Structure formats: C-alpha cells, structure tokens
Structure 1
Amino acid sequence: MTSRIIYTHDYLQQLPQAFRQHLLKNGLNKEYGKDWEDILNKEYSETWRVENLVLSHWKILCRYAHTPGEALAEFLVGLREGRLLGTRCSGCGRVLIPPRLFCEWCLREVSDWVEHSGEAFVSTYSLAYIGTDPGVRLAEPNIVAVLWFKDTVKETPSSKTVLHAAGLMHMIRECRPEDVRIGMRVKPVWRPVEQRRGSILDISHFKPAGE
C-alpha cells in the first residue's frame, strides 16, 4: 500500500518561501495541477484514510527558566560593564575564559578573578555564506572563529602537553576573508553602553589587533 502525503494549507504557509516554492513546483503542482489547494481541501475532508500521512503545523508554548550559575553570572555582569572577566587557576596558572570555579586539568577549586584585556588569537575559523535565511547565499561571508585568549593556553615543560581553555566563538570583522589566518591576533570591539544587555553579544565583534 502506497501512502501519500497531504499538505494542509496552514502547514504550507509556515514553510520558508524558497522551500515552499520548491515543493509547489516539484510536488503539488505536478501531481494536482494549478488548483492543488481546492483539490487537497476536498480530499482532506472527504477521502482521508488512516494510511495517509497528514502534516500540519501548530505552535507549542514552552517556557524555560535557566540560571547561568555563579561564575557565568559574574561573567555576564562584567560584559554589561565592558569588562572581560576570567578566573585564574593557582595550579597551572591558566586564565579560564569563560570563567569556571573548577580547573579540569588540576582538579582544584578556582577562586581568583581577573580582568582580561580581551587580546586573543584565532584557533580556527570558518567562512559562512549562509545567514539567517538559509535560502539566500551571502555576497560577503561572515567570518566565524573560535578564539583562545592570552594566558589561557599553557604548555607543560615535562610532557609538552598543551593545556587550553575552551575559548569563545565569535565574529571577526573589519578584515577581509582572505586575510584571516590561524594564529592571528584579535581584540574585542564593544557595543555602546546603552546597547549592552549582559550578553556575549555585548562584544559586537573582534577585529585584527596588528602584529
């Protein structure tokens, strides 16, 4: 037994425009003709059978309460004030950004807070040609990078093991895509005070810091 997919009108209206046009061109118009909406409405009300797959769309109201925790809450307050805060481990000497109250390398509690200059270097990056609309290719790509901050990376003398913090993912601007490279030094560009909300986006982007 072959099942057919019945697309309800409400469901189709919720689809992204590019995908809806593709679906109509290659599916509904081809199978039902230009009067596909009237035909489907009639079939849906008169000839629905249990083997048919019916797709519909509805909104579910979900409310969540998320607490950032002690370390991250302090970090977000600092961002709103234009300060990049981290914690320093007394064992390995690393600065942890984003801050944590426990060093996963030394297995010890961390309680020393430091204000960081924001100087970082590019650990890895990607050129993203897809923005908020997946159906539209950007003329100029967004440069998305994982950044490691100064003093967050340590090398143990005995084993040459590199100890690094998780780093942050952020945008790099004021730079041509072909000029970005791994290891490039960057610095933060802050949003105006009145636009800050206690978010990582209080840093507008990072830009090259020069050599």
Structure 2
Amino acid sequence: MTITTQRVHWDLNYDIHLGATWGRFMAGLTEQKILANKCPDCARVFVPPQAYCESCFVRTDEWLELPSEGVVEAFTVAWQSFRGGPTPPYAIAGIRLDGASTLLMHYVHGLDLSDPNAVRAQLPVGTRVGAVWAEERTGQILDIAHFAKI
C-alpha cells in the first residue's frame, strides 16, 4: 500500500458567534476594560471569561474588571510565519493579570529578538507587563495591541 499526501489550500472567511460571555468580554475591550468572571463556588477568576467554571461546573455569573497589568508566567517566540499572522519573530506570553486565576495569552513587544539565545533573559517568569491599547478598538482581542514590560 502506498501512502500519499495531497496539498490542499483553503481560504476561509467566516463569522463566529461569540455568545453572551465572550461578547461581553469583547465589548469591554472597546472601553479599555478587561472583564473577567468569578466562580461562586471556588472563587477562581477567569480571563478570558468562561460561562461555566471548569472545576466546579457551575455558572460564572459574577463579573469584575481586572487591572490591565500582570506577570508573565510563560512565553515563547515564534520564528516562522503563517498566513494572516504577524511578521516573525514575535513573542507571545501567558500573562496572569492581577487578580486572575487563569492566563491570558497575548503578544509582548519591546524585546530584542535578534539573538534567540538572549531572549530568555529579557522576559523571565514574573516580569511585570501592562496592556498597550489599540488606538481604534472594535471589540476584538487586538483592542489590546500588545503588552509591554513595566
């Protein structure tokens, strides 16, 4: 039996229904607010918000606004490009915003990415970062243009 592969190209445009939870989160971004929700049973704070707690399986109806600052818990640098993405290299970090139990993944700018061996020293775990807001906001995650070291 011969195993073969076939190259396929899909160019898709589609609309995504955000639902009430993500819709509220994205609407908050237009006003430079990072909204989170909280589990009434275990008190975990989710950002991005979730309709249900992943641990307790209860609705997370309590909303709060988080500060736009936090700490880097993990990061990676993308060295290769993909269609529709930013020009590499670029850094993406898991950021624990102050008061959050979960991580928000986002771009971090202001790093010298010219030397792959020196990147880790520029963004150690625990580095404080703050949101840099897009000038024009349209209810998308890139209303936070990126995060930068504080």
The partner residue of 2:16 within 66, 77, 81 is 66
Report if aligned partners of 2:66, 2:100 keep a CA contact under 8 Å in 1. Answer: no
Deviation of the 1:129 alpha carbon: 2.3
Alignment of 1:148 onto 2:96: yes
Cα separation, 2, equivalents of 1:149 and 1:58: 38
Higher relative helix content = 1
Instruction: Specify whether residues 143 and 59 from structure 1 end up closer, same or farther in structure 2 by C-alpha distance, changes over 3 A only.
Output: closer
Cα separation, 2, equivalents of 1:56 and 1:182: 40
Structure 2 counterpart of 1:199: 140
Which 4+ runs in 1 deviate beyond 4 A? 55-60
Structure 1 residue runs without a partner (length 5+)? 1-54, 154-164
* Alpha-carbon displacement from aligned partner over 1:170-205 (angstroms, at most 9, x marks no partner): 11112343311122221101011xx21111001111
SS of residue paired to 2:106: strand
Deviation of the 1:151 alpha carbon: 2.4
Alignment of 1:174 onto 2:115: no
Superposition RMSD in Å:
2.7
**Paired amino acid for 1:200:** I
Report if aligned partners of 1:94, 1:151 keep a CA contact under 8 Å in 2. Answer: no
Cα separation, 2, equivalents of 1:169 and 1:187: 13
Structure 2 residue runs without a partner (length 5+)? 1-5, 113-118
Alignment of 1:101 onto 2:37: no
Structure 2 counterpart of 1:125: 75
Alignment of 1:184 onto 2:120: no
**Paired amino acid for 2:97:** F
Deviation of the 1:144 alpha carbon: 1.4
Cα separation, 2, equivalents of 1:112 and 1:180: 33
Cα separation, 1, equivalents of 2:99 and 2:45: 6
Query: How many residues are aligned here?
Result: 136
Report if aligned partners of 1:125, 1:146 keep a CA contact under 8 Å in 2. Answer: yes
Structure 2 counterpart of 1:16: none
Instruction: Specify whether residues 89 and 129 from structure 1 end up closer, same or farther in structure 2 by C-alpha distance, changes over 3 A only.
Output: same
The partner residue of 1:88 within 38, 50, 63 is 38
Deviation of the 1:101 alpha carbon: 2.2
Cα separation, 2, equivalents of 1:56 and 1:65: 26
**Paired amino acid for 1:100:** Q
SS of residue paired to 1:130: coil
Cα separation, 2, equivalents of 1:174 and 1:168: 18
Cα separation, 2, equivalents of 1:105 and 1:64: 32
Identity of aligned residues (%): 29
Cα separation, 1, equivalents of 2:9 and 2:99: 49
Structure 2 counterpart of 1:22: none
